[in-house]
Amino acid sequence: MMTASRKARRRDSAEVERAPANLPVPLLGARAGVPALAATAEGAAGDTLLQDLDMGFSAQMARITRGLSPIALAEAWADWALHLAMSPGKQVQLAVKGAHKMQRLASFMSSCALRPHDAAPCIRPLPQDRRFAHQGWQAWPYNVLSQSFLLTQQWWSNATTGVRGVTGQHENAVEFAARQMLDVFSPANFAWTNPEVAERTTATGGANFVAGWNNLLNDWQRLATGQQPAGAESYVPGEQVAVTPGKVVYRNRLIELIQYEPATDKVRPEPVLIIPAWIMKYYILDLSPENSFVRYLTGQGFTVFMISWKNPDAGDRDLAMEDYLRLGVMAAMDAVCAITGQPRVHATGYCLGGTLLAIAAAAMARDGDGRIASLTFLATQTDFTEAGELTLFINDSQIAFLEAMMWDKGYLDTQQMTGAFQMLRSNDLVWSRMVRHYLMGEAEAMNDLMAWNADATRMPYRMHSEYLRHLFLENDLAEGRFLAGGQPVALSDIRVPVFLVGTERDHVAPWRSVYKFHLTADTDVTFLLTSGGHNAGIVSEPGHPGRHYRIREAARDDGYVDPDRFLESVPEREGSWWPELVEWLAARSGRPVAPPPTGAPANGHPPLGAAPGTYVFAT
């Protein structure tokens, strides 16, 4: 059952959504449960000014903390520390573990003295930890440094987990924060304790530090002037990336719709409409010609449309999730059907775009709109109860802090989002890069995926607040409370077949979280788990080395298979997953026909210019 406080929040949120759009933001906040100072206009004005003061103060604090709420962190640490203080058994256990680890380290050091090159390590790093993979870490004294660090890291993991009474989110936050702090002091991060850096310094006579210093100055200059990383200028949309031929056939204040030219004499009658996430530029799915998802689909005989989202600015602060639904998915759906003359569309959503597509599909099913022929969700979450380490930053305190920061600007800044994602993979995205770039003096090799990743976008204030509160915090979509068109939607209303893709190393949409769609679905679901991460796993063209996947089809009436049983029972297949999707779409499409024209001037959709359009260039 929904608690009384949650019901109150739902009621307050509904009041905000029903409030007139011309009300100032602080007054909207007052209607969301903040007590008024007085019933008079003068009192309301004073209330607004005081709320402005609170929001402004929080916004200034957010700049200092880079968007992390100090109160949320303090709550987590206090919860852990107080419960640990009341757990003498846990304290004794940690003392014993600490003594045992010191004994293991001492034994290892003795083995090193007797057999300098053959001493067996007392602890090995986790599979994803590649900091100590270099052979130099096997030699004294670097082996002792690495073993000491790993044992310390393991002890702190023991200390921050398994304390009775600590809430799950607080435990995860404390463990994450402890790991982040320890990573700062990893011996791999310092020139005098990293054998690989020492080896490079000896080989170059110290020239690596000169090159690293130049890299550091160049990075600071680019950061100060707002330039993209070095090498990104070699990947310009419309020139090196996003070059699949097409035309913009529709535009409104939020999207441009691109229709791609056919690459075959005949095409399947049902067009494919792709809804990418607006947290990223659309051309992740149209990178270089050899790894373009769009080009692959057109080459397989499909008519493809793609949404290119506008990069919002301060003037778009009041755009809501409903606007993204109405001006995004539904407007694009209307245009695609008007241009092609086809009554049904294969709809594909990626990441946050897939979540929005799921909302749209449920609303369309509720309203009897049968234009969707099938749904493909790429790394898409619809249930956010196991949304991975991103949930570390999602609670009432943290969201209020982010809202204050966005209120100040009207949007969530690109640097804030980039910083959050880098924290989740700090070893790979921060520390290892610093070692290579600044200590080893290596020039960073840019590629199309890295250049796209640096081409970040913003998130409007109201939409992002609604997204965090209603989806991440309250899980309204999975629990049947999310409103679309003023009425709740239920994912169980979706009856069209679904192709669901998860990626093995996804830190944004963990595949087990993606898999939870099975629990709310009432339709046929084909689930495919592919190698790679959130981006590289999706951009997995045929011929890409080292790719593999698992696939399982589940009919509507089949019993539930949990993720662990899925891994045990479904064999691994080598290669790209793209041909599987094409075969699945073809089986649910009509016989090939002549390609439709580009645009439909008679229906109000004349070509407006060549792809990639104009919105993709907004910075």
322 and 363 Cβ atoms separated by less than 8 Å: no
Q: Is 351 a catalytic residue?
A: yes
By C-alpha distance, which of 9, 7, 5 is closest to 399? 9
Cβ neighbours of residue 455 under 8 Å, at least 6 residues apart? 228, 232, 281
Q: Which one of 112, 122, 337, 351 is the catalytic residue?
A: 351
Residue where the block lists tokens 């993709």: 616
Bridge-based pairing of strands 483-484 and 272-275 is: unpaired
Q: How many residues are there in the chain? A: 619
Cβ neighbours of residue 65 under 8 Å, at least 6 residues apart? none
Sign of CA dihedral 264, 245, 243, 353: negative
CB neighbours (10 Å) of residue 286?
Answer: 30
> What type of residue is 111?
S
Cβ neighbours of residue 101 under 8 Å, at least 6 residues apart? 151, 152, 154, 155
- Diameter of the chain by CA atoms? 86
By C-alpha distance, which of 398, 405, 410, 397 is closest to 58? 405
Q: Is 434 left (phi over 0), alpha (psi -120 to 50) or beta?
A: alpha
Sign of CA dihedral 312, 313, 319, 320: positive
Three-state DSSP state, 92: helix
Catalytic residue annotation: 351
